[in-house]
Amino acid sequence: MSTDSNDEVNVLQLSIHGVLIGYLAGFKNGRNVLSIADSFKNSPDRPTFSLITHPSFPNAAKLMAEPWARNQRLHPVLSNLLPEGSLRELIAQGLKVHVDNEFHILSYLGEDLPGAIEATPMEPEDVPGYVLNTHGKAKAVKFDKDALHKKGRENKFSLAGVQMKFSMKEKDGRYNISKGDVLGDWIIKTPSTKHKFVPLNEYTAMSLAGLVGVDIPEIKLVELDKLDNLPQINLPDEKQAFAIKRFDREDDQRIHMEDFAQILVKYPHEKYTSANYENIGKVIYDYSGDGLADAQQFARRLLVNILLANGDAHLKNWSFLYPDKITPRLSPAYDIVTTSVYIENETQYALNLGKTKEWYTVTMAHFQAWADKSGIPWRAIKPHLDDTLSRARELWPEALKALPMEDAHKDGLRTHWGKLQEDFKIDAKK
């Protein structure tokens, strides 16, 4: 009896730090199923694939016992590894697939994903029988890897969009899009066609955050003529891109990481609506290898996002890093931008904190409510908020003058400081 073409599957082998996680089968009709390997489930010292599979996480064994089946979109732990927005459109058009056909996008990007997960196309004869048996009469078919990569490279069209970001490899002061087994060591964000001078804004906001004790990676501004092999994208008349050192790479080795959309099993489109800062704070405090230190750092960053008028600190902009392959720690900060200068009448940060999202009503009492709800001792948090505020008031007004943010944006930030509640107000004239 012949196998219906709808039952033909391509299979990706998923691994982390060279350890097999399992097999992801992609059907022609868009269904995808992840079967986690017994060797991974049964290993007491397995690397952490996701916090939800960590032995100390409730129901981890039960979660891994059953295949993870989805349609079009992958399971959120995998879906969140893929780019969003304009970059996804660019890749999907190059591959000639729908933007929601995540299996094929993962197949194309699988060699240099965020963190340490690798997704490798498999030959049909190498697919274990049990993987196919879980799918009725499914038959593994060959991946045309060459065609996949050839299609992906042949992006000859121009795409308008917000800001594009690329994983790039730096060599001798030049930056090249990472390909094959060459791992990118920088994330490069090109200027936006929609918003002016975003690279200068992000460089400034991140620099200010670093001055008040936020853990930030190495950052720099890079001349656009130093970027090689960019796809054909529309770029505004600006000279510099923003570069941030990848903290999930070190000496050409992968360090695993995952964002809080993955941890809380939410899709990217749910990143603003499906959780609050209490949920994140509780997970950090309960599961981090140093829960108190990371909760203190988290609180510091929450306050900095308010002080810098960053309304975009959603679930995907907080991550755990696994430096020892198993135990999570809060990752360095990233994607801190003064968003209010781009969005008229913006007055809110991304998620609820102590039942408010309003910059101009939030007080220290809301932070105390957040700490209480998260189960974190307030006495351990308050000194870190006080320190952040004291340093911001002392250092920021002068530092801002010398940083490269556009003058109109600087004025917008100074105005914002004056509108905050007394607890958080900063005198820009200092």
Angle, CA of 171, 177 and 180, to the nearest 5° = 100
| 312 belongs to the catalytic site | yes
Q: In this structure, what token pair is assigned to residue 86?
A: 């304009």
Q: Which of 185, 248, 294, 312 is labelled catalytic?
A: 312
Are the CB atoms for 108 and 148 separated by under 8 Å? yes
Tokens representing 368 are 């105390």
Dist. CA 271–CA 315, nearest whole Å: 5
Question: Which residue numbers are catalytic?
Answer: 312
